[in-house]
Structure 1
């Protein structure tokens, strides 16, 4: 019983640097192309494309929300926000890498804006749940946004404040989403890329709060 309690405690708290798994120097092998769009997963990406990384619970369910959007060039499942370099899916699951399951979204800002992607992010999951999402418990399921530059960070912080006001207006609690600029993103193994396009009966969907992201914050 003590062992189980200890493991649960580890999964609900980010590891200290001395507790984190060592990882590896080389990236994991993954798919070369996106299973749905057939575009190169790791690039090269089109000139003018931008990227953003979102964590909103199970990355299989989260990735599926982004790849059908017009203007999204490619998506990828991976890990972000942790300490261990190039972690495996199994290592992240121990809670000892510090990573969240995350989705890299590469998009054309002339077709789909960052505020539009943020609207999808905020509405599609519950950003008030801390180290969990629904029945999925652990630091790997926490809510997070990982902007790639200072401009994206400003837009992200403004969107958080706007959505927090909307949540408070609906009688809901504080946002626990972490926002960490320029955190390294690590691609997950090939089996996890576009998982729900190949396993249509697998994975649970995400559930939002029902609170709409304010239109005024999308400008």
Structure 2
């Protein structure tokens, strides 16, 4: 499986938060993963092969140029309501963000996530208004498909709506029935409810002092 080109609509859309997050994540992903721009089917796991509770590893740079490895656990799969796309939710269990209690930070965008030694995707989103390090991972197979110029892409929307596979997610003592991807933290603030969680592209600062 090779990526020959990046769809021009992904490059030019300034309104589609998911498109921009995908592009940033994919570009950084290949640098972190050290795989170039060619992936074989045996190198990856698709969303259908993933289950809640699976353990994996991530790689990111938190200081200087040193790549650090950290542990992750899959805590949910989100299915998009209005288009065939998914997001993998992972909890980060070790490493700098756990030690410093910072939540997901901007420098983690594009960090590759592996399960059983196979690539599942790259960190693209963070869970807003929560210091628990929960990240939204853009599935690698989906990212590759979205860059295919022959494939239809969703209309450019400022927000995207998802439902957890299985109906409900339990996060920080909340029962989450719906997840929204918002373009900015300001947008996210008005969307959070007791049963609605919000993801924001990692390039946007996710935390504010005192939370």
Superposition TM-score, scaled by structure 1 size? 0.29
Report 1 or 2 for greater relative contact order, CA contacts < 8 Å, sequence distance ≥ 6. Answer: 1
Q: Which one has a bigger Cα radius of gyration?
A: 1
Superposition TM-score, scaled by structure 2 size? 0.29
Give the structure with the larger helix fraction. 1
